Amino acid sequence: MPIMRYIVVGAGAVGGTIGGRLFQAGHEVLLVARGAHHDALKSGGLRLITPGSTQTLDIPVTREPVRLRDDDVLILSVKSQDTVAALDPWPRDVPVVCAQNGVANERMALRRFARVYGMCVWLPATHLEPGVVAAYGAPKSGLLQLGRYPDGVDALAGKIAADLSKSSFVGLAVPDVMRWKYAKLLGNLGNAYEALCGRASGGEEIMKRVRAEGRAVLDAAGIGYASPEEERARRGDEVDLRPIEGTERGGGSSWQSLARSSGSIETDYLNGEIVLLGRELGVPAPANEVLRREADRAAREHLPPGSMSPESLAALIDAETGRQAAS
């Protein structure tokens, strides 16, 4: 198989780390970015901060699609609400790897592209400043499991996994990637709580309700998902969350969307996925509906992370539970 060029569409926390690590390992990489982040990458390179080093990487960057080669691979790492717009300009014969949270992106991509791969991403990273990405995983930067969508592995999946494994990641080609992505979805149901309430204590009961709803909906749908024990065993001690001196990790991807005041948030494709399936199956999911609704509102109104108390959120969930029970 020829040497591939990795075109990373969305060079934020996840995409910037993947692209940066592949570039450091000698792979050909092209970053696709927008706005001030593109300008900073173009003028000064990508500043990749890890627990072990800080490097400025002169990775080629573009705003627009480029002429593709036969050996190109798209690594899609935009938020789910931006998937269709991000993919639309690209030729339909290029393989696409969905390195994204949620479980809807692969199907959206498969409407347009014949070769689609899911990637289950466990990669703690932050992107709040143009041109700068901080990756907190060590000794490896992340666990990246990928496979053909909807299932199976092929030579390309194996090649990408091998390249990632040589680039400071644990890269694995797996035949059941969506099983792992549904497990990650259950974990990501807490992203909206973190965005809305920050690190405030008192959210334990809320999160129990949210994840219990998620499991009930997936079980009713007959959708399999890996257990937390399987996830911990797969990650092992190769990817640990480490501090970086002078760079505090405020929160995950949804927290960062509010911190950057981006105006949108991924919750429709996280908690909203459980709400959608629950509505189709007649399984109530009021806690997830409130998190979906309130996180969307916070993003639209440009509220900062931590703008709601756990008590206020719990009261809204109780009210929604009563409303759904009465309807």
Can you name the residues that pair with 6 across neighbouring β-strands?
Answer: 29, 73
Cβ contacts of 248 within 8 Å, gap of 6 or more: none
DSSP 51: S
> Which pLDDT tens digit goes with each residue over 10-22?
999 999 999 999 9
Mean of the pLDDT values across residues 60-84?
97
Chain centroid to Cα 261, Å, comes to 18
Q: Is the pLDDT of residue 3 over 90?
A: no
Query: Using CA atoms, how far apart are residues 129 and 255, in angstroms rounded to an integer?
Result: 14
Q: pLDDT confidence of 202, banded at 50, 70, 90?
A: confident
Q: pLDDT confidence of 29, banded at 50, 70, 90?
A: very high
Extents of the domains making up the chain: 5-175, 181-326
For residue 44, what pLDDT is reported?
Answer: 97
> Which pLDDT tens digit goes with each residue over 140-197?
999 999 999 999 999 999 999 999 999 999 999 999 999 999 999 999 999 999 999 9
Answer yes or no: same fold for 5-175 and 181-326: no
* Among 132, 117, 110, residue whose Cα is nearest residue 12: 132
Mean of the pLDDT values across residues 282-309?
97
Residue keyed to tokens 């691979």: 73
Q: Is there a contact between 98 and 116 (Cβ–Cβ < 8 Å)?
A: yes
For residue 17, what pLDDT is reported?
Answer: 98
Please state the pTM of the whole predicted model: 0.96
Structure tokens at 294: 């309130």
Mean of the pLDDT values across residues 318-325?
95
Structure tokens at 57: 């990487």
For residue 327, what pLDDT is reported?
Answer: 85
Q: Is the pLDDT of residue 46 over 60?
A: yes
Q: Is the pLDDT of residue 256 over 70?
A: yes
DSSP 276: H
For residue 246, what pLDDT is reported?
Answer: 86
- The answer, yes or no, to whether the previous bond of 286 is cis (omega within 30 of 0) is no
For residue 62, what pLDDT is reported?
Answer: 98
> Which pLDDT tens digit goes with each residue over 110-123?
999 999 999 999 99
Q: pLDDT confidence of 89, banded at 50, 70, 90?
A: very high
Structure tokens at 153: 């592995």
Identify the three-state secondary structure at position 281: helix
Cβ contacts of 305 within 8 Å, gap of 6 or more: 194, 195, 196, 198, 250, 251, 255, 258, 259
Cβ contacts of 80 within 8 Å, gap of 6 or more: 100, 101, 102, 104, 105, 266, 268, 269
**Fold for the domain defined by 181-326:** N-(1-d-carboxylethyl)-l-norvaline Dehydrogenase; domain 2 (1.10.1040)
Mean of the pLDDT values across residues 203-218?
96
Q: pLDDT confidence of 2, banded at 50, 70, 90?
A: low
**Fold for the domain defined by 5-175:** Rossmann fold (3.40.50)
